[in-house]
Amino acid sequence: MTTTNTPPPTLAFIVPCFNEELVLDKLIKSLTALGISLIREGRISGSAQIVLIDDGSFDRTWDIIEATPTHHNVLGIKLARNHGHQPALLAGLMTAKADILVSLDADLQDDLSALPKMIEEYANGAEIVFGVRTSRETDTWFKRTSARGYYFIMKRMGVDLVLDHADFRLMSRKAIETLRQYGEVNLFLRGMVKNIGYPSAIVEYARAPRIAGESKYPMRKMVALAIEGITSFSVKPLRFVAWAGFIIALFSFGYVGYAVIAQFMGITISGWASLIASIYMLGGIQMIALGIIGEYLGKVYLETKRRPQFIIEKTTSKNAEE
C-alpha cells in the first residue's frame, strides 16, 4: 500500500498592536524563537511569519515594526486610523497567507507553550483551536466577577461562546476562507469564529501577567464589546422589550379596572405619589426600550453603508505577500 506524507503546515502569528512600543522587542524575539523551535520539531515548515498590525498607534510602534531586521520575518500592516482591536485582528487574518494562523495579544499574556498542543489538535482534524484560560487568578476581583457575569448574560441571550476564550486561537486556511465570507461591519470575532461550525478543539493555558505597559481594554471598551456581541448574535433584547410592554399593559388594564371599581364603591383612590411613580417607571422603561431598538437600528444603518471593515495605509514591503 502506498502512503503519502503530508508536509507540515506553514504558520503565521497575527498580532494587533496599539501603542505597544514597550513590548514589541520582546514579542518579536519570543515569536521568532518559538518559530525556530517549531521548525526543528518538524511541526511547521518554512519560517513562521509574524504579522504585526499597527492599529493607529501614536507612539513608536510603527517605527519599531518598520525597523525590525528581515531575519525576524515580520510583515507590518499599518492601518489608516484606529479601527479597533477586532478590525485590526481581521486585517491580519485576511492578509496572511499561511496554512494555519494563530492570533494572540501583543502583551505576551497568552501562553506560547500551548502552541505545540494547538498544532497537534489541528493535525488531528480540528480546523479551529480555542485557547481557554484555566483560571483568572491574575485578574482583579472586579474583572473576574464582571467576566463571569458577561459569559452568563451572553449565554442567556443565546450567544454561543467558548467560556474564558478571548482571541488566542488557531485557525486553518479553510476556516479563514470561510470567515472571509462574513461581510459584517459590526465585528465580534469570538462569536463569528464559533459560528463557523467546523470541527474545533480546546487547549487550556495559564494566562500570565502583562510584561509591560498598560491594558488597552479598559472598562469602557469591555462594555462596548459585550454590547457588540449581544446585539450581533441575539435578538432576545428586542423580545424582552416586547414582553415587558405586554406585562406592563396587563398591569395597566388591571389598575384601570381597580380604579373603576373603587370609584363605584366610593373608595378613595391614591394620590399623586403613585401616579408620579408610575409615570417615571413607564417613562424609564420606554427610554430603555428605545435605546435597545436604537442600538439595533444603528447596526443596520452601519451595515447598509457597506464601508470597509478596515483600511490599510501601507505594509512593510520587505515581507509583504504577493
Select the more confidently predicted residue: 319 or 303: 303
Select the more confidently predicted residue: 119 or 279: 119
Q: What's the pTM value of the predicted model, to 2 decimals?
A: 0.76
Round to the nearest angstrom and report the end-to-end CA distance of the chain: 39
Across 220-233, average pLDDT:
68
- % of the chain at pLDDT higher than 90: 42
| Cα–Cα distance for residue pair 71/53, rounded to 1 Å | 18
Across 93-113, average pLDDT:
93
| Cα–Cα distance for residue pair 200/180, rounded to 1 Å | 18
pLDDT computed for residue 215 by the predictor: 59
Burial (CB < 10 A; 0-12, 13-18, 19+), residue 234, is middle
Flag whether pLDDT at 319 surpasses 60: no
Flag whether pLDDT at 160 surpasses 50: yes
The residue among 291, 197, 305, 308 whose CA lies nearest residue 244 is 291
Give the cell for residue 68: 525590525
Supply the mean pLDDT for the chain.
81
Instruction: Provide the pLDDT confidence category of residue 234 given band limits of 50, 70 and 90.
Output: low
The residue among 307, 133, 274, 123 whose CA lies nearest residue 199 is 123
Flag whether pLDDT at 261 surpasses 90: no
pLDDT computed for residue 3 by the predictor: 41
Number of Cβ within a 10 Å radius of residue 84: 20
Strand-pair partners of 15: 52
pLDDT computed for residue 124 by the predictor: 94
Q: CA 258, 261, 266, 267: dihedral to nearest 10 degrees?
A: -20
Across 52-76, average pLDDT:
92
Instruction: Delimit the domains of the chain by residue range.
Output: 11-234+307-315
Select the more confidently predicted residue: 136 or 22: 22
pLDDT computed for residue 322 by the predictor: 41
Select the more confidently predicted residue: 104 or 232: 104
In terms of CATH architecture, what is 11-234+307-315?
Alpha-Beta Complex (3.90)
